[in-house]
Homo-oligomer: A and B are copies of this chain.
Amino acid sequence: MASSICKHAAIAPSPTTFRCNRIPIHRVYLIRNGRPAAVRCSLLRPEYIPNHIPDPKYVRIFDTTLRDGEQSPGATMTTKEKLDIARQLARLGVDIIEAGFPASSDADFEAVELIAREFANVDSDHVPVICGLARCNKRDIERSWAAVKHARKPRIHTFIATSEIHMQFKLKMTPEQVVEKARTMVAYARSLGCEDVEFSPEDAGSFNLNWILVAGWDGLGVDHLDVHKVAIVALSDREFLYQILGEVIKAGATTLNIPDTVGYTLPSEFGQLIADIKANTPGIEKVIISTHCQNDLGLSTANTLAGAYAGARQVEVTINGIGERAGNASLEEVVMAIKCRGEQALDGLYTGINTQHIVMASKMVEEYSGLRIQPHKAIVGANAFAHESGIHQDGMLKHKNTYEIISPEDIGLLRSNESGIVLGKLSGRHALKAKMLELGYDIDGKELDDLFSRFKAVAGNKKNISDDDLVALVSDEVFQPQTVWKLEDVTCGSLGLSTATVKLIHANGDEHISCSVGTGPVDAAYKAVDLVVKVPVTLLEYSLNGVTEGIDAIATTRVLIRGEDSVIATHAYTGESVNRAFCGTGASMDIVISSVRAYVNALNKLLGFKNRLKTEDPNESKVIHTL
């Protein structure tokens, strides 16, 4: 059994491998302050074989932040943003990255292709599989393959609806036709040269829900009755599920993904479903079973763990748990639960995730998707490690590990009061880089240069530069789209009517100045920007967050806009055309400047999409619905 080697091993004087129970541990030592210090390193990752995992206890992490997560309202990401996230997912050690739905739009295709190429020739110990979604039709599968084939490890993920109601109304096909379609399309994907094909029965895993009347009074007709929803599982559904899964295995599928599409099952039920599939599907031992759990009842993490315990060896998750409605199982919760409890309570299961990159991934996805996580979000919320309960003050400092099941360091978050690095206006680039690393941001090159010059400007005006100031700055500097328009200056006055004057510089160097009145300084400034940029948009959301240590701290603004002549993509499950929305953020010590930066960035993102589309055949940007 070949194994990839931890990256850190290269700099370790004496790597040693331990083995405890079933889990191989790879430990690496770094020199710190003249003496060796142990560095937590991921467990040995078994060799990647599409339909088989050499170690039966290893669980593959399939991240679908870029596909399912990006489907959240307003979470549209640019190609650059997707590539940034893909790189961070690779750092995390994710096994499979679902990079998008290439048939959705040209922009989606381009992003998947770029990510696939990114991982074509990487000289790394771990290269993630790059996966593209496709409906069960030739065109989708061809587009998906054309996008992912450049990757070192490409995968096509195809799906079809299998519940009776979907087959009848959405597909207008008989069950036999659905099986035939699934079988032939999986075989077609294999025939293109793709050796790694995942298949999802879109809704068969989620049980077949029906409304039945609990109370038998029907005098007013069904519409007026108080009905009680009850899920029933018809045996025929299960038998059909085993049948279609068995057929796609024969056709060459390597992973079978079982979604809980409506987030309705309880952990015991979902575990049983996976166990039943494992027990009853012909040929199941030749493939990997996967879970994909929605969070509508807040049970996605528990369902995912129950699925893994019952035999699934791939789990589909998203960073921060983003996704449509209540989102998906979140990577950080599932991974940390397996890390903390795998050995004792989950039969020795483990993953290949380097958890120290979780915080950076979480922050990046929060910035790019515009989906803010709540302060009490498990693992990555702002309060997750804020212990108001001061056990420490009770003479129990030595035992604090007893109370923290996960230490901040485990997920890449250093406590600032323990870090020892304090930045001031004399601090250099190296100190800034070290500090950002402590905060979970691993940045370098031009991004670091730009951040450093912004940092110097702020340090000149503000005595204490807090961690939050730095986070705001890095978000403004690092998490930005390519520039079409750049804000040069904004002045405003609000004695009587609010007025604002803005100066914008186009990428071609032209300067544009305009002014407008409005109901407030931000409104006036936005109207002035509109006079220059001349793109009709609707402002969907606007929010501004100041941070600690007084109102003179840096304020971060986030806006969400939608273009009126829209940027269209196709929704994976419905085939519906979706009008994309774009999120932009900006940061400044002045809230008006911060607000205008955010607006200009959102416009840049939208213009980036529009300009790209314009250079190609306009018909290409519309997807033909074939099924």
Please report A residues at the B interface, Cβ cutoff 8 Å.
Answer: 16, 18, 20, 23, 25, 27, 35-41, 71-73, 165, 169-170, 209-211, 214-217, 220, 224-226, 228-232, 262-264, 266-269, 295-299, 301-303, 305-306, 321-327, 330, 333, 336-337, 340-341, 343-346, 371-379, 381, 383-391, 393-396, 399, 401-403, 405-406, 461, 491-495, 498, 518-523, 526, 538-553, 555, 571, 573-576, 578, 589-592
Contacts and interface: CB of A to CB of B under 8 A. Distances in A.
B18 A217 contact: yes
A462 to B, nearest CB: 9
A620 B325 CA distance: 49
Given A299-B302, A376-B371, A25 B215 contact: yes
Nearest to A527: B551
A393 B577 CA distance: 11
A520 B590 contact: yes
A38 B266 CA distance: 30
A387 B576 CA distance: 12
A389 B576 contact: yes
Nearest to A577: B390
Contact of A390 (B38, B297, B576): B576
Contact of A493 (B35, B341, B494, B589): B494
A105 to B, nearest CB: 15
A555 B571 contact: no
A377 B346 contact: no
8 contacts: A25-B214, A35-B220, A264-B341, A298-B333, A373-B374, A374-B377, A521-B521, A538-B549
A378 B73 contact: no
A379 B326 CA distance: 7
Contacts of A549: 538-539
Oligomeric state, in copies: 2
Contact of A297 (B340, B519, B576): B340
Contacts of A381: 326
Contacts of A522: 551, 591
A224 B27 CA distance: 12
Given A264-B341, A539-B551, A590-B519, A388 B578 contact: yes
A526 B544 contact: no
B322 A376 contact: yes
Given A297-B333, A298-B379, A389-B571, A169 B395 contact: yes
B169 A396 contact: yes
Contact of A589 (B337, B519, B521): B519
A406 B546 CA distance: 36
Given A297-B378, A340-B229, A220 B37 contact: yes
A106 to B, nearest CB: 20
A552 B394 contact: no
Taking each of A35, A217, A326, A521, which has the highest tally of chain B beta carbons within 10 Å of its own beta carbon?
A326
A54 to B, nearest CB: 21
A321 to B, nearest CB: 6
A517 B577 CA distance: 51
Q: Which 6 A-B pairs have the closest CB atoms?
A: A542-B546, A302-B302, A298-B333, A327-B376, A544-B544, A298-B378
Taking each of A209, A526, A578, which has the highest tally of chain B beta carbons within 10 Å of its own beta carbon?
A209
Given A374-B377, A378-B297, A520 B326 contact: no
A267 B387 CA distance: 24
Contacts of A264: 340-341, 405
Contact of A519 (B267, B405, B498, B552): B552
Taking each of A229, A343, A385, A589, which has the highest tally of chain B beta carbons within 10 Å of its own beta carbon?
A229
B555 A542 contact: yes
B376 A295 contact: yes
Contacts of A306: 267
Given A37-B220, A518-B551, A542-B545, 17 more contacts: A18-B215, A40-B226, A72-B375, A72-B376, A73-B375, A165-B402, A209-B405, A211-B401, A232-B344, A297-B337, A298-B378, A299-B302, A302-B302, A321-B376, A325-B384, A371-B375, A539-B550
A149 B39 CA distance: 56
Contact of A551 (B269, B372, B391, B526): B526
A553 to B, nearest CB: 8
Contact of A573 (B344, B389, B521): B389
A325 B376 contact: yes
A230 B269 CA distance: 27
A299 B337 contact: yes
B344 A231 contact: yes
